[in-house]
Amino acid sequence: MVERSFKYLDEIELSFVRGIGEKKFASLKKSKLKTVVDLIRYFPRTHIDRSKVKLISEIDKNDENNEVTIFGTIDKVSVFTTKTRLRIATLSISDESGSLKAKWFGPQYIESRFKEGEVVAVSGKPEVKKTGSVDFKNPAIEKFTDIEELNETGSFIPIYKKVEGMTSASIRKGLKEIIAILESTKDDFTPGLFDVLPSEIIKEHSLENRLQSVKKIHFPKNEVDYKNARRRLVLDEFIYLRSIFENLKSKYKNENKGLVYTFSNSDIDEFIDQLPFQLTQSQLKAVNEILEDFRKNYPMKRLLQGDVGSGKTVVATIASYAAIKSGYQVALMAPTEVLAEQHFASINQFMNKDQCDIYLLTSSIKDRENILDNLNNGKPALYIGTHALIQESIKFSNLGFAIIDEQQRFGVEQRKKLINETGDIPDQLVMTATPIPRTTALSIYGDLEISSINELPPGRKDITSHLIEGSKKDNETIYDICEFHLQKKSQIFVVCPFIEESELVDIQAAENVFIEYKEKFKDYNVSILHGKMSFDEKDQIMQDMKNGKVDILVSTVVIEVGIDIPNATLMIIESAERFGLNQLHQLRGRVGRSDKQSECIFHVSKKKTLNTISEDGKRRLEAIVNIKDGFKLSEIDLEIRGEGKVTGTSQSGQSDLKIADLRFDYELLLESKNIFDKIESEDIKKLLFEEAQILFPNYFKASGTT
C-alpha cells in the first residue's frame, strides 16, 4: 500500500468530490480549478483572526493603530467629487451595535462593486472622532454571503479569492472532504500525502509533512499552525523552480553545441586600450564572464544587468568585437527605433571601425537591400535593429552572438527567433537597465547566468532630485529652475505620460505642455517629440537636441531608455505619480551623463498634492526622491507592484507561484536552494521534476526562457 501522490490526485477531477456537482464543477473550471491538486493548491489569500473581529460599538481610540475587522450590512452607497476632482466613495455600514463610514479615495470604483443590503467584512485601522463616530479610510473589504459559516474553523477564518458561482463555504466543504479522504485508508492507499523530500531533510529543517502543511494552510487552529504550513509550502514551490531550472540548464548544455571562437586575449586587451575611457572593475568582470562563456562547449545564456548609465553597452561592444573577430555575425535587438539608433551611435564611437562593420536595420531604414545581402551571405558584422531583425524575410546565415536589450519588453517566442538558418544556437546576452532584485533574478532567470554592473563610471555626479506639488506657485518654482539651467547653456527634458488630452484621465498632455513652455520661454528653442512622429522627424529632433539646437525638449516616454545627451542637466517629469518606480528611475537617468551637476523634478499633476494622490503613488515618489540605487528601488517597486509572472510565456499579471511571494520570502528562497543542493539521489530529483511539471505547467509551454 502507498500514500496518494500529486500525480495521482492531478488525474482526479473535482466532479468526483462529494458535494461538488456539475454546476459547481463548471464554476470551478472557469477559475481553472479542474483537479483535486488544483483545489488543494487554491490557498487562502488571507485569514481573519476572529480575536481581531469587533462589534462597531466596541471600537475605541485604543484601536486606531491596530488592524480591526467588522462584519456588517451596507446601508448606503454614495460618491462625492471634490473641487480638485478627487473622487471619494463612501459606504455607510451597520451591525447590531452601531454604524460607521468606510471611505475610498481616488478611482477605485467601490460603488460599482458593492450594493446596499450586502453583508461585508471590512478590515483596516479605524479613525475614532471626538463625537465617537468611526471612519475607515481605504480599508480592505470583502463580501460575505455565508457569514454564519465563518465560525466553523476556530479563530482563523480562511478567505479565498472569489470563484463565480461558488461560496467560501462550498470551497471549504470541498477541501474538508479531500483532506478527510487523504487521512483515510481506502483501496490500495494508506493515510497521508506522498512527500518527495527525504525524511532526514524534513527533520533537519523542522518542516511540516506534506499532508499537515496542506491541512493547516486551509484550516489552521492558530497563527503558529498557519506560519509552519506556509513555510513548508513556500519552500516546496521554490524547490520545484530550482528543479525546473537545473533540468533546463542540463538539457540545454547537453543538446546544444557551442560555437568555436578564435579571438585572443591580446585582441581584447588592445580593443579595451583604444577606448576613450577606463572601464570600471564591474565592467571588466562582466567582460571576462562573457568571454569565458564564449569558450565553453555549449552556447551562452547570460543576463547582464546594471543601473542607468553603468556602461552595459560598451561591455556588449567588447563581446561583439570578440565574436566578429572570430568570423561571426552579431545581432543586437532593441525594443524601440530610438534605442536602436542610440546603440548604433554609441557603438560607432567604441568600435574599431577598421576591423568591424556596423549596420542599422529598422523598419524605417532605406539601405535595406545591401544590409540584407550582407546578412544572407554571412558577412561578419554587427547588425543593430528592432523586432525588424526577427521578421520572416530576415535570414541570418552566420549568427554567432545575439544581444537582446531591455529584455522584459520582448516575449519568449520573439527571442527564440534570433537563431541561424542552420538551427545553430548563438551565444545569447540579455541586457536590462532595470535592475532586478536578487529574489526575482534567482527565480525568473534561474536558467541564466547573471552578471551585474554595480558601479557608475568615474566623474559622474549624483543627480539632485526634487518632489514638487501641482499648485500654481509650485509651477513658478519649476520655471525658475529651468531658467537657472538655461542660463548655464544646458538643455532640458520635460516628459509627459500621454500624447493627447483625454477626458478620462487628468494628465497633462504633451501638446499642452509644449505650448505652455513655448510661451514661457520665448527666447529659447522649444521642441516636441512623441511616438506618432515619423522616423525622419524623430531623428531630426534628436539630432538637433544632440547638436545643442534645442533648449527644451517636451517628450512622451519614448526617451525613457537609451537617449544620451551629456549637455542635458534638467529632467522634469510631469504627472510623476502616474509613472512606475523603475520608469521614473530610467527617466532620471537621462540626465547626469556628464560632469555637469544635474537635477530631476518629479512634478505632481496640476492642482494635486501628495495628500490627494494614491498611497502607492505617494510611496513611489517618496522612494525615488530619497533613493538613488536602482537595485534598492526595484525591491521597493516589487513590494508595491507584486512580482508578476515568474514562469511561463506571460511576463505580466498574477504570479504562477500559488503561495510564495518574492517580495517577502527571500530567506526561504535561499533555504530552498540549500535543501535542493543536499538532495543527492537522482531518483528523488527525477520525482521532484515530475511534480514540478504537474504544478508549473505554464512554464513548459514556453520550453524555457531562451
Q: Are strands 552-555 and 526-529 parallel, antiparallel or unpaired?
A: parallel
Percent of the chain clearing pLDDT 70 (strictly above):
87
Q: Per the structure block, which three cell numbers stand in for 181? A: 479522504
Q: Cβ atoms within 10 A of the Cβ of 295, count?
A: 11
Q: Say if 50-153 and 464-627 have the same CATH topology.
A: no
Tell me if 691 sits within 8 A of 37, measured CB to CB: no
Give me the pLDDT at residue 646, please: 44
Q: How far apart are CA 47 and CA 168, in angstroms?
A: 12
**How do the domains of the chain map onto residue ranges?**
1-45+160-192, 50-153, 281-453, 464-627
- The CATH T-level fold of domain 464-627 is Rossmann fold (3.40.50)
| Domain 281-453: CATH superfamily, name plus number | P-loop containing nucleotide triphosphate hydrolases (3.40.50.300)
Give the gyration radius of the chain's Cα atoms: 29
Tell me if 126 sits within 8 A of 64, measured CB to CB: yes
Q: In this model, does residue 505 exceed pLDDT 70?
A: no
The predicted model scores a pTM of 0.68
Mean pLDDT on 367-377: 86
Strands (DSSP E) along 42-124, which ranges? Answer: 46-49, 68-81, 87-95, 98-105, 119-124
Cβ partners under 8 Å of residue 215, min gap 6: 179, 229
For the chain, the first-to-last Cα distance in angstroms comes to 42
Compute CA distances 365 → 97, 309, 539, 577, 701, whole Å: 73, 27, 12, 37, 35
Q: Are strands 140-143 and 301-306 parallel, antiparallel or unpaired?
A: unpaired
- Backbone φ/ψ region at 93: left (φ over 0), alpha (ψ -120 to 50), beta: beta
Give me the pLDDT at residue 533, please: 78
pLDDT tens for 515-556 read: 999 999 999 999 998 877 777 788 788 889 989 999 999 988
pLDDT tens for 555-573 read: 887 664 446 788 999 999 9
Q: Is 180 exposed, middle or buried (0-12, 13-18, 19+ CB in 10 A)?
A: exposed
Q: How far apart are CA 134 and CA 118, in angstroms?
A: 20
Give me the pLDDT at residue 435, please: 66
Neighbour order of strands in the sheet with 599-603:
464-468, 599-603, 568-574, 491-495, 552-555, 526-529
Nearest to 559 by CA among 342, 314, 359: 342
Q: How far apart are CA 306 and CA 295, in angstroms?
A: 24
Give me the pLDDT at residue 566, please: 87
Q: How far apart are CA 88 and CA 144, in angstroms?
A: 24
- The CATH T-level fold of domain 50-153 is OB fold (Dihydrolipoamide Acetyltransferase, E2P) (2.40.50)
CA atoms 242, 248, 251, 252: torsion sign? negative
Give me the pLDDT at residue 654, please: 39
pLDDT category at 636 given cuts 50, 70, 90 is confident
Tell me if 163 sits within 8 A of 27, measured CB to CB: yes
pLDDT category at 45 given cuts 50, 70, 90 is confident
